[in-house]
Homo-oligomer: A and B are copies of this chain.
Amino acid sequence: MSDHEIFEAGDVPLQCGITLRAAKLAYKTHGKLNADKSNAVIFPTRFGGRHSDNEYLIGEDKALDPRKYFIVVPNLFGNGVSSSPSNTPIPLNAGSFPGVTIYDNVLVQRRLMQEAFGVDRLALALGWSMGALQSYQWATLWPDKVERLFALCGSARCAPHNYVFLDGCRIALVTDAAFRNGFYKEPPAAGLRALGRVWAASGLSQTFYRRHMYREMGFATVEDFLVNWWEWLFQLRDANNILALIWTWQHGDLSDNPVYKGDFEKALGAITARSIVMPCNSDMYFPPEDNEYEVSRMKNAELRVIDSVWGHYAGGGRDVPSLKLIDRTIGELLAS
């Protein structure tokens, strides 16, 4: 018994010039599509996440209530469930898996909605982090088909600083000689641990650490948190899959496609969805300034900043006050 479905996307030509053959888009649905197909929501996964990781925002006690909405959670290519380095056959396996852009992902997601469900129109596109990148991409590619957009701790493109941060993570991993250009037999454990430690410093804010809030998560000391959370988390994952997602994130830009040809402002200006963009004031990846600019270029968008010391993870569900605010805001957006 699998907890998800597979959309067989066939041969998918990618922006990088390679065709991903027999591509598989894994997804999970919650709720039922109504008769006039007006209750569809797309909620793509985030970096390192699987469909089940989105369930913190889905439930009968939540705004994303499966009794009311038909919620589709597609898995990012590279996340280990959809086509990824770890599950793709030769010759695109492991270190040869091609770069898949956000645009590539969203084109297949659109086909999933149309071909599998006959859905042409979305009540809402939403996501956290890389999920926000995908939601923005939806809203700009099919403005008249996406009624609402909720972008949580994420932006319309990867900012240069964010690119640099991600590159530090990437290089910490590939510096491990055991990585062998992606063709390892045993996981490059030292590199995965290193990546976890690098990630730890930027994912959460200075104040989070100053207040020793890792203790609330059950960790005795900073070192305990680094080993038993961050090193553990990244060692659960396949190194090539992580690198595939980092590549996708680093190349994220809603305008870098044949439709907008790199015109970032034009791509933002095309969005007509009623939009709420919600960064966190201590997020080091997606600081509010980037979203502020985006919102200023969008037609029908509002910026609402989360005040939290959880940094990027204010959007991830562990910070309860932020979680409540997020859920309330999604409810407000859906009711509008």
Contact = CB atoms under 8 A, between A and B. Distances in A.
A131 interface: no
A175 B191 contact: yes
Interface string A167-179: 1100110011110
B197 A167 contact: yes
Contacts of A163: 209, 222
A245 interface: no
B172 A209 contact: no
Interface size grouping (class) on chain A: 35 or more
B202 A159 contact: no
A177 B198 CA distance: 18
A284 to B, nearest CB: 7
A212 B194 CA distance: 28
Given A160-B212, A168-B168, A222-B164, A175 B190 contact: yes
B171 A209 contact: no
A168 B198 contact: yes
Contact of A172 (B162, B178, B198, B202): B198
B284 A206 contact: yes
Contacts of A193: 171, 175
Contacts of A194: 168, 171-172, 175
Interface in A200-251: 200-202, 204-210, 212, 222, 226
A191 B168 CA distance: 11
A318 B206 CA distance: 25
B159 A171 contact: no
Interface of A: 159-165, 167-168, 171-172, 175-178, 190-191, 193-194, 197-202, 204-210, 212, 222, 226, 284, 287, 289-290
